[in-house]
Structure 1
Amino acid sequence: MSTPTSGHGGTHAVAAARRHGVDTMFTLSGGHIFPLYDGAVAAESSVRLVDVRHEQTAVFGAEGIGKLTRSAGMATVTAGPGVTNAVSAVATANFSGSPLLLLGGRAPDDRWGQGLLQELDQPPILAPVTKQARTVHRTGEIGPAVDEACALANSAHRGPVFLDLPMDRLYEQAEADPHAAHGRESDRSPDPGAVSHIAHLIGQARRPLLVYGSDVWMDGAETTARETAEELGIPVITNGQGRGVLPPGHPLLATRARGRAFGQADLVIVVGTPLDFRLGHGLFGGADGADPAKVVHIADSPGQLATHLTLAGSVSGDLSAVLRGLGDTAKPARDVEAWRADLRAAVTAATADDAALLASDADPIHPARVHGELNRLLDDDAVVIGDGGDFVSYAGKYIEPRRPGNWLDPGPFGCLGTGMGYAMAARLSRPSAQVVTLLGDGAAGFSLMDVDTLVRHNLPVVMVCGNNGIWGLEKAPMRMLYGYDVAADLAPHTRYDEIVRTLGGGGELVTRPAEIAPALRRAFDSGVPYLVNIATDPDDVYPRKTMGV
């Protein structure tokens, strides 16, 4: 039997989180949660405090840790506006399936209902965007509650958990079991019959296609996913953190020909990502007179399987086990080589078309030129973060990660402002890797003040701002709809680089294509948070299609 330990609520909370591998607490100071800080600075806890300038950044930092390490990151925020400021970031983690522990301060229980400062019942606000949101009303239960919350956040399907901690309960002393049991995850063995049925569908298909999404990475299935694709010889399209499961140039990687692949496929097997707007809601095939494709959905848990369309097959469970089962039993039709050759030719043609844009000497600068120069400087283990609209859409098309898990973006919720928090997480969890944050100038306005946090905590990252002086995702569509636009312009050539220098980092403005590469090299060599502020062409609009990247 374990011996109960004595301490205040903050001590118990941090000790429990530490047992789940948490070593960083992202926060913004507030008196309601001082005991959590006291728990973090205790010698035995070894938890680093990263204090930020906005609660949203704190939660994005913790979510970034979850995305990169596949284990819940932790953020702590004070009561009332501290919690409400965090909601959009929590929703992002929920939509992205990122493991996250959020601890929120709360007005004291003993005087609840008397009009206390920041007295707000917070769990009902967080409940729709978390796996669990509850208040812990006893000091001795705080440690076990954190233990349970971390286990829940880290179990499939992963996501955020919120615990509401009354101020008086955090400050109180109590005994708690330091090894409280949190139970075991339920059996995730896939249904063998469902796996056999999908294997049969693969054997019947002439133009099968695999789609690998973020949960392939989050579930630790990236190696098996690559092996299965290679064993079966099926072309692959990747999205989210699934990008990099097959490295750039792999003969089965068809992402650059996704329009043709999705339009011509007769069987699409989607693994570890929802059938949402990014995948045309699962309506594949039908191009050039082809029949609609059969669709198979494979997810890490039953609740993630699509219900809005008729599936030809589905299975949930441990993704490595599902993919291993398909690799062992499926036998693709012999004429699949013609399909592979067709997509390889389409990828080759698209790559050739890319070359001109990636080396464009257009003045004003074409956004693709920025990514062309960046590609030549990225190491295999570089972490690339996208936080923006048009500028990041180009990055999604032209920057292909070499390894899985190394591409971070706001995900299906599409919340801007992730960039600084994700950058902090990347620098802390990958201390020797290049960390590059790609910002649209609109997105920069959400979080650039947190460069101050990067500087204070000595977290050097490279930031590249595509500065076209507009809200690109809104300006062109509004003009198309109404013949004019409003509320879509920003000041041209704003000196975001000077803001970064004022905050203690480095930066410079780039206005000509030939200046891009030298500026990027200076940024990588600087050893400080460094912003390359690139004036791009406001008249260039990313070409969007229903099934586009």
Structure 2
Amino acid sequence: MAESPSRLTGRLTGHGGSHAVAAARRHGVETMFTLSGGHVFPLYDAAVQPDPTMRLLDVRHEQTAVFAAEAMGKLDRRAGLAVVTAGPGVTNAVSGVATAHFNGSPMVLVGGRAPDARWGQGLLQELDQPPLLDTITKRARTVHDTKEIGASLDDAFTLANTAHRGPVFVDVPMDHLYDQAEVDLAGGTTPPDRSPDPHRVSDIARLIGEAERPVLVYGSDVWLDGAEHTARAVAEELGVPVITNGQGRGVLPARHPLLATRARGVALGQADLVVVVGAPLDFRLGHGMFGGKDGAPPAKVAHVTDSSHQIAAHLTLAGSASGDLSEILRALGDEARPGTRVPEWRERLAAASAEANEADAEALDSDAHPIHPARVYGELNRVLDDDAVVIGDGGDFVSYAGKYVEPRQPGTWLDPGPFGCLGTGMGYSIAARLARPSSQVVTLMGDGAAGFSLMDVDTLVRHELPVVMVCGNNGIWGLEKAPMRMIYGYDVAADLAPQTRYDEVVRTLGGGGELVTDPAEIGPALRRAFDSGVPYMVNVATDPENVYPRKTMGV
């Protein structure tokens, strides 16, 4: 896990933009994601000054800058930085900030703002912006004094990086950003104590010891809190089956004997105890309503989070604990003594996993025309390196990815998370290529998602960031078409043009690409994409009648 830099101290001189950039550098920021605007020019001026220069990475839509900063927070585990101009620059960023909020991703968004000196006179892009972001940030505020900019940005990064992590918004009126100032900054505040309550941890350890069919669920905060190695060691020590969620994917690698994700339905449906670590009990986990399947009684639920306000309040918990996740997990490993029936439970889930793998083998190798979406993942799994970063940006097509692509290392899976915002793909791709320069980066997108951000392939090309894009092109809004048919017997507003040449869009913007209509050509096309050294689109025409099977609509 990246070390937390010390707070900004010493004398700051120069314009307000230089104060802001000094604070960002102190917190380890190396890249500013942005789309140019005159309100924020001083930040650019400060970034390009030597000793050291901060990389400016300019995009084609503000949402891409924010998604890139969010992904940097996810991958580096310290806040990324996005800078946008006033008015529409900020409003275009809102969906990205909301995604970071729901994901608990550390990031700081700096917005331009119309000048204070003439506020209220109908200035260009005059808008009071913090109220728009107040409910989706840890804090949203305006800095009205040049001398306060450095300290305010320092506080913003510290807050974003403090559990429970999330986005922070700061806007600065244009006149204060351009103004000159000198200021002396003292030391920062003491980090909050995150020691868990030992009695609460002991209660959860006791529950594990009493359970016959326990399951551990590891979520994104296991990774973000730097607890991934401890989490794996504790699971192995206890011998308790594990399901992974979000960025928790890869904490136990693919094919690990304790990984029960392929037997998820049986595991969560028949468990008598589910200990959820670092994940909210939201719709992705059935709102915590575990057990009750095939005659099993409802399961007891224990919730372990990185901060107390993340503990679920919508159901009765058998136990809960909050604080440093590594400390909590180590204590569980020391105190818990699983019951004698747990090996039998592991065997049952291993058998269910093997059965699921056998049932899916046909789809993964399908020669069907049109192409079965699963065949794409059967081929992709053959060419992915262990440290490949896999990005999901889509609905139906990415649901297949969640089922069939199992990361082999932690910190290598990115998806939009519970907010479900399409268009994350290009921003996440940009950040992944910068954060993991020697790894494969592959972005999986539905054709619906492609329409949200594909213009930012231009950004990948201009900044020489090779990424492989795989588009599952079924010509429909797959998450909407089938449910609407089920409810009404017909569908509207759910069709896209069949076999749209998204690959030609990528080629026109300076990358490479091809359309694949034969399942036998998927593997060779993927190998050409990874070998190309440029942003490359493998545009796969998939079967619109083969949609991901769902039991609910995710509410």
TM-score normalised to the size of structure 2? 0.98
> Aligned partners of 1:510 and 1:260: how far apart in 2?
36
Q: Which aligned pairs between 1:31-180 and structure 2 lie closer than 5 A?
A: 31-177=38-184, 180=186
Partner amino acid, structure 1, of 2:205? A
- Secondary structure at the counterpart of residue 376 of structure 1: helix
Partner of 2:35: 28
Unpaired segments ≥5 residues, structure 2: 1-7
The 8 Å contact of residues 144 and 180 in structure 1, kept in 2 or not, is answered as no
> Aligned partners of 1:198 and 1:164: how far apart in 2?
43
- Secondary structure at the counterpart of residue 25 of structure 1: strand
The 8 Å contact of residues 232 and 331 in structure 1, kept in 2 or not, is answered as yes
Larger deviation, residues 445-454 vs 36-45: 36-45
- Secondary structure at the counterpart of residue 36 of structure 1: helix
Partner of 2:474: 468
Q: Kindly state the Cα deviation for residue 546 of structure 1 after the two structures are TM-superposed.
A: 4.6
Partner amino acid, structure 1, of 2:302? V
Q: Kindly state the Cα deviation for residue 3 of structure 1 after the two structures are TM-superposed.
A: 4.8
Q: Kindly state the Cα deviation for residue 6 of structure 1 after the two structures are TM-superposed.
A: 1.3
Q: Which aligned pairs between 1:291-370 and structure 2 lie closer than 5 A?
A: 291-370=297-376
> Aligned partners of 2:10 and 2:445: how far apart in 1?
50
Partner amino acid, structure 2, of 1:477? P
Q: Kindly state the Cα deviation for residue 330 of structure 1 after the two structures are TM-superposed.
A: 0.4
- Secondary structure at the counterpart of residue 346 of structure 1: helix
Q: Which aligned pairs between 1:81-480 and structure 2 lie closer than 5 A?
A: 81-177=88-184, 180-480=186-486
> Aligned partners of 1:256 and 1:89: how far apart in 2?
31
Distance 1:540 1:108, change over 3 A: same
> Aligned partners of 1:509 and 1:99: how far apart in 2?
37
Q: Kindly state the Cα deviation for residue 335 of structure 1 after the two structures are TM-superposed.
A: 1.3
Q: Matched residues, percent identical?
A: 76
CA deviations on 1:440-472 (whole Å, 9 max, x unpaired) are 000000000000000000000000000000000
Does 1:527 pair with 2:533? yes
CA deviations on 1:375-417 (whole Å, 9 max, x unpaired) are 0100010000000011000000000000111100000000000
Over the aligned positions, Cα root-mean-square deviation in angstroms equals 1.1
Partner of 2:15: 8
CA deviations on 1:213-245 (whole Å, 9 max, x unpaired) are 000000000000001101111000001110011
TM-score normalised to the size of structure 1? 0.99
Q: Kindly state the Cα deviation for residue 45 of structure 1 after the two structures are TM-superposed.
A: 3.6
Q: Kindly state the Cα deviation for residue 176 of structure 1 after the two structures are TM-superposed.
A: 2.6
The 8 Å contact of residues 72 and 80 in structure 2, kept in 1 or not, is answered as yes
Q: Kindly state the Cα deviation for residue 44 of structure 1 after the two structures are TM-superposed.
A: 1.9
> Aligned partners of 1:312 and 1:357: how far apart in 2?
40
The 8 Å contact of residues 72 and 101 in structure 1, kept in 2 or not, is answered as yes
Partner amino acid, structure 1, of 2:501? R
- Secondary structure at the counterpart of residue 278 of structure 1: helix
- Secondary structure at the counterpart of residue 422 of structure 1: helix
- Secondary structure at the counterpart of residue 29 of structure 1: coil
Partner of 2:523: 517
Q: Kindly state the Cα deviation for residue 155 of structure 1 after the two structures are TM-superposed.
A: 0.4
Partner amino acid, structure 1, of 2:71? G
> Aligned partners of 2:394 and 2:10: how far apart in 1?
50
> Aligned partners of 1:473 and 1:461: how far apart in 2?
26
- Secondary structure at the counterpart of residue 173 of structure 1: coil
Distance 1:174 1:208, change over 3 A: same
Partner amino acid, structure 2, of 1:393? S
Runs (4+) off by over 4 Å: none
> Aligned partners of 1:422 and 1:2: how far apart in 2?
32
> Aligned partners of 2:256 and 2:508: how far apart in 1?
44
Q: Kindly state the Cα deviation for residue 199 of structure 1 after the two structures are TM-superposed.
A: 0.6
- Secondary structure at the counterpart of residue 539 of structure 1: coil
The 8 Å contact of residues 280 and 546 in structure 1, kept in 2 or not, is answered as no
Partner of 1:490: 496
Distance 1:252 1:2, change over 3 A: closer
> Aligned partners of 2:251 and 2:538: how far apart in 1?
29
